[in-house]
Structure 1
Amino acid sequence: MASIIKYFTDYYDWTLTFVDPRSKGWFLVDSPKPTFWLLVMYLTIVWIGPKIMRNRKPFKLNGLLVPYNLGMAYLNGFIFARLAESAIRLKYSIFCEPCRQISTPDEMQIVDAIWWYYFSKLLEFCDTFFFILRKKDNQLSFLHIYHHSTMFVFWWIGIKWVPSGSTAFPAIVNSGIHVLMYTYYGLSAIGPQMNKYLWWKKYLTIIQLLQFSGALVLGFNGLRIDCEFPLWMQYTLCGYMVSFLVLFGRFYVSAYIDDHKKRKQEKTLANNNLLSLKNQNIVSNGVDNAKKDE
């Protein structure tokens, strides 16, 4: 065990020789310990929270959920705008953009926005905490917990080692999608009177699946053209996108295709039962009328 720990310690010390100096000294960036312990705290709350809430009434948090979700939509809009603005001015290539450790204003704007994107993944832990407090345990799926915990860790790696270049594009797309997603959550938290305006939930999942598919294609293309970007990052991205496609794909099938079939079957069964009841009433009325005629 000691030799294994020493191996990983030595490996981490070696990786520190090529970290990006532009984010050095920034909040939560220099050491992995804060990210690690925050992740441990998150998983501990996920495990113990539902147990604590088991015999308690769910909290009604609408007064908190509306500003939280709309605030997260605003933050993601800010990140999207900052990243897109600088990427366009720098003429970033969507297919391959090396991470060059230069400190021009536009490059630093991208680094700064990537840090905010990483920090937003910490704030998103609140999504899970609100589910626990509202006793929405069915929302605490493996997909939800896997998504929140791994994104926080991977984007710490991003801000420490590769906070610009091709790293910017996944953040641009994902932050743009999160504007839509948190706007949806914020509006739905206002109350049931908003339901008629929220018909587009299904399309959020479709957009996310397209996002993962696009990122996977670009990742494989980066490997194909030997993009000047860390090779291990390219392989990690491809594997990570495959996991999301599988998990989100299963969610989409379960939530929309299987659920639609179930609702259709229930509707057909209800219609058949109603038709059967009407036929019974017709037969019954016919018998009653025959008896009256006698």
Structure 2
Amino acid sequence: MELGLALPNLGRHRSAASMLTLARAAEELGFDSVWTSEHVVVPAEMFDPYGDTLDSLTTLAYVAAATERVRLGTSVLILPLHEPVLLAKQASTLHALSGGRLQLGVGVGWIAEEFELMGADFEGRGQVMDRSVAVLRSLLAGDADATLVPPALVGLPFAPPVESPLPILVGGHAPSALRRAARLGDGWHGVWLEPDELPSYVAATRAQSARPGFRISVRTDFRIVDPSEAAGGVPGLVGRPDAIAAKMLQYRAAGVDELVIDFMNRDHGGVPDLGFILDQLHRFRAEVPADLS
């Protein structure tokens, strides 16, 4: 099972220094990937943390220039808010400049007001999502489908070409999202799920997909607690090192290919500061006694 780190590109502690420091630390500590979140614009009462968000792809481009190995993931882009031809250009460019490290996580979004502020159709976002994934696949494969893209693009070469796999992971927990992942995705990306919840999601996605190498990735909250702190029954990877190791093995046994640890509280209470996250990452590598490769 591979390990990823969700970069805190949202909230009060996001900064250029934090993004670079954490991405480099993840690479040095042997993590396989780093991920960014996305929100464009939200109502004032949701600004902290959602509105205070660095752009996802721009942030990944920034940290890609300062790293060599870690893969780059989006968790997730709100695909119906993106023009798909432009997004294909951005994604293929980042993939090329990073040496083929991008994996594109996409979802339909969940904040109705964000769609309203963007002038987008919240109720019809599922249909927009389906078409946008198809457009992305068509362009990234270098074969513009006349039924999907503007006629002027048909027959034109699309650059930069994608010369190594650029996986599209479909996020979401609703039945429609799981069907979409199985039908259109190279994988499924879930958040804040416990190991015993995962079999039904794996059955609805990987087991129904015809794509070889279909991957399951899950993002979950993480914190090593000290012996004096109570952590029993807390969801996610929150606990003492031995308990975290045991639970990670449960995630692997449940079919997870990549586990992404996240320092934003699932109750949306914000993100801790850089020093705390760095300490936790080093403690994780030093204290969690499990071979999860």
TM range (shorter): under 0.3
Q: Pick the structure with more helix per residue.
A: 1
Q: Which has the larger Rg?
A: 1
Q: Greater relative contact order: 1 or 2 (C-alpha under 8 angstroms, separation 6 or more)?
A: 1
TM (norm. structure 2) is 0.21
